A and B are shown apart, each in its own frame.
Chain A
C-alpha cells in the first residue's frame, strides 16, 4: 500500500524513492518534504520510480519540474523508470511543457485605471443609449407612416403579458398604499380634529403622485426586467441575428410592440391604481376616522379637482416609454455570456426606476410652474 517517500542523502548523491502513488493527491506533501532537504551540496540526483504503481500527468509534471530545477544547478539527474509507460507519460509531459510558454499573469489594475475605465464605459453606454434612441425614432417614423406596418397581434400579446397579467399585483399594491397612507395620516389629523381633510390629502397625493409612481415601479420590476431578459436570451441564442438575416427588423417585431403596448396600458393601470388606492383610504377613513363612504365621496367631489386625475394619467405614457426603452436597450446590450443577462436585467430595473423618478420630478416642476 501507500508508503512514505524515501529521501536518502549520501555525500553528494540524493536518491528519492517515490511511493506507490505519484498523483495529484500526493505531490503536495512530497513537494514539502523535498523542499526541506538540503540541496546545496548535491551533484547527483536519482529519481527512483520503481515502486510507483500510479503515475498521472500531474506526477509527471512534478518530476519534470524537479529535473529542470536541478539541471539548472548543474546536478546530474537520472530517472529510474519501472516501465515504458512511465517513460511515455513523462515524454508526453516534456513535449508539451517545452511547446508552451509560461502562462501570462492575470492582469492587475490599479485604482486610477479602474476609475478611468468605468467612467469611459459609462460614457460609452450613454452614447450607445442615445444611438438606440435615434434608431428607435427613425424606425418608429417609418412604421407609423403606414398603419399596415403596425403589428397589432404582437401588441395585443404584449398588452396581455405585461399589463393584464399585472392587474392583480398593481391593484393589491396600490390598495395597500392607500391603506397605509390613510392610516398614518389619520393619527396626525385626529390630533388637530381635521378628520375630513383626509379626503383632500388622499385624493391629491394618490392621483398626482402615488398611483403613477407605484404603477411605474411595479411595471419596471415586472415587465422591464422581463424585456431585458427575454431580448438578452434571444441575443445569446442568435435569434436576433436570424431575424435580421431573414429581413425581419427586430425593432418592428420586438421593440415597438412592447413600447406601444406599455404606452397604451400604463394610463389604464394608473387609473386602476387610483381607484384601488382611494378605496383603501376610504376603508381606513371609515374605520379609523368614522367618515362614512357617502360623506367621503361627497367631500371628494367637492375638493379634488379632476385635473389631479389627468396630471397622474398624463405621466403614464412617459413612464411607460422610459421603462420599455430601458428594458429593451439593456436586453440588446447583453453580450455573449450568461452572466451578462443577469447583470443587464438588474441594471434595467435600477435604471428604469431611477429614470421614472427623475421624470416625475421634472413633471412636478413643470406642473407647478404652469400652475396646474
Chain B
C-alpha cells in the first residue's frame, strides 16, 4: 500500500519548550488514522505541521510524496488542493454564507459553471447532513454542530484524497457524533479517502479508526491497531482506554 504521510524524526521546539522529540509515523492510503495523547502533547501541532501551517525544527514530513519543509510555493499550492482540513470550530469565513463558503474553493480553482457549482454545493450540503434552506445563513447564525458540518462540506468541496480532521466530533451531540462517524466511514468507502484525525471521543475512536499513534512524553508511545493497545504500559492509555469496555 502506498504511504500517504511519512513522518521521520520530527523535532518541534517552541522557544525553550520541546514539543516533539523525534517522532516517526506513517499513514497508508485508505486508512483512518488517529493521533491520540494527553492534552498539550502536540497532536494538533503535528497536524498543523502536516498541513504547512507550522515549521518543524528538524526531521522530515512527506505528504503525498512531497517533503513539506523543502517544498516550493507552486508545489505547496498543488498539495493544498489535494487535501481538505476541518478545524475544531469549523473556521468558516464569517463574511460569507454557508453556500459561499463551500463554493469558494470551486470558484477559485475550477472553471465550472455557476449552475454546476450550485449542484455540487447542494450535494455536499446534503452529504454532510445539512438542510438546503440553511445554505444562505451566515456562520454567526448557526450552531456549533452545524458549523462543523459546513466546515466538513467545505473541506470536501474539491473531493480531496486526504482529509485532516481536528476533533471532528467534539461539541456534537451523541447522535450527530455517531452520524459523523458513519459519514466518515462512508466517505472513505465511497471516495477512497485517507483520513487523519485528532480525537478524544472514545466511541468515535473505536468506531472509525484503523490505526492510531499515541504521542506521549514528546515521542510516539505506540503506533498500530486498536486491538493491541490495552496491553501497553502507559498512564495515558490505561486511563483513557480503561474508562470503558
Name A residues whose Cβ lies closer than 8 Å to a Cβ of B. Answer: 23-25, 27-28, 31, 56-58, 61-62, 65, 85, 88-89, 92-93, 96-97, 99-104, 106-107, 335-339
Bound CA–CA A93/B95 (angstroms): 29
Q: Do A338 and B112 have beta carbons less than 8 Å apart?
A: no
Bound CA–CA A61/B127 (angstroms): 12
Shortest CB distance A133–B (Å):
27
A27 in contact with B112 given A57-B159, A337-B139 (CB within 8 Å): yes
B116, B123, B136: most-surrounded residue (chain A CB, <10 A): B123
A89 in contact with B191 given A96-B127, A103-B122 (CB within 8 Å): yes
- Write 14 A-B pairs (CB below 8 A) sorted by A numbering: A28-B113, A56-B159, A57-B127, A61-B119, A85-B190, A92-B127, A92-B186, A93-B123, A97-B122, A99-B126, A103-B99, A106-B136, A107-B136, A335-B140
Bound CA–CA A65/B112 (angstroms): 14
Query: Does B132 belong to the interface (CB within 8 Å)?
Result: yes
Interface code B109-153, partner A: CB below 8 Å = 1, 0 otherwise?
111110010111111111100011101101110000000000000
Q: Do B159 and A100 have beta carbons less than 8 Å apart?
A: no
A100 in contact with B122 given A106-B136, A337-B138 (CB within 8 Å): yes
Query: Does B170 belong to the interface (CB within 8 Å)?
Result: no
The 8 Å CB contact of A337, one of B131, B140, B189, is: B140
Q: Do B138 and A58 have beta carbons less than 8 Å apart?
A: no
Q: Do B94 and A339 have beta carbons less than 8 Å apart?
A: yes
Query: Does B36 belong to the interface (CB within 8 Å)?
Result: no
Bound CA–CA A25/B131 (angstroms): 27
Name 8 extra pairs, CB < 8 A, besides A61-B123, A100-B125.
A28-B116, A58-B159, A65-B119, A103-B118, A104-B135, A106-B136, A336-B140, A339-B94
Contacts of B123 in A (CB 8 A): 57, 61, 93, 96-97, 100
Bound CA–CA A65/B113 (angstroms): 14
Contacts of A58 in B (CB 8 A): 112, 116, 120, 159
Q: Do A104 and B159 have beta carbons less than 8 Å apart?
A: no
Query: Does B185 belong to the interface (CB within 8 Å)?
Result: no
Contacts of B112 in A (CB 8 A): 24, 27-28, 58
Query: Does B86 belong to the interface (CB within 8 Å)?
Result: no
Query: Does B213 belong to the interface (CB within 8 Å)?
Result: no
Query: Does B97 belong to the interface (CB within 8 Å)?
Result: yes
Q: Do B94 and A62 have beta carbons less than 8 Å apart?
A: no
Q: Do A24 and B158 have beta carbons less than 8 Å apart?
A: yes
Name B residues whose Cβ lies closer than 8 Å to a Cβ of A. Answer: 94-95, 97, 99, 106, 109-113, 116, 118-127, 131-133, 135-136, 138-140, 156, 158-159, 186, 189-192
Bound CA–CA A97/B120 (angstroms): 9
Shortest CB distance B149–A (Å):
13
Q: Do A102 and B138 have beta carbons less than 8 Å apart?
A: no
Bound CA–CA A73/B118 (angstroms): 23
Closest 4 CB pairs of A and B: A100-B126, A337-B94, A96-B126, A56-B159
Shortest CB distance B231–A (Å):
37
The 8 Å CB contact of A24, one of B118, B133, B159, is: B159
Q: Do A338 and B94 have beta carbons less than 8 Å apart?
A: yes
A61 in contact with B120 given A89-B191, A336-B140 (CB within 8 Å): yes
Bound CA–CA A24/B121 (angstroms): 12
A27 in contact with B116 given A100-B122, A104-B132, A104-B135 (CB within 8 Å): yes
Shortest CB distance B200–A (Å):
21
Shortest CB distance A333–B (Å):
14
Shortest CB distance A168–B (Å):
31
Shortest CB distance B2–A (Å):
16
Contacts of A62 in B (CB 8 A): 116
Shortest CB distance B116–A (Å):
7
Nearest-neighbor residue (CB-CB) of B125 within chain A: A100
Contacts of A100 in B (CB 8 A): 122-123, 125-126, 131-132
Shortest CB distance A59–B (Å):
9
Contacts of B111 in A (CB 8 A): 25, 28
Bound CA–CA A105/B157 (angstroms): 20
Bound CA–CA A101/B159 (angstroms): 22
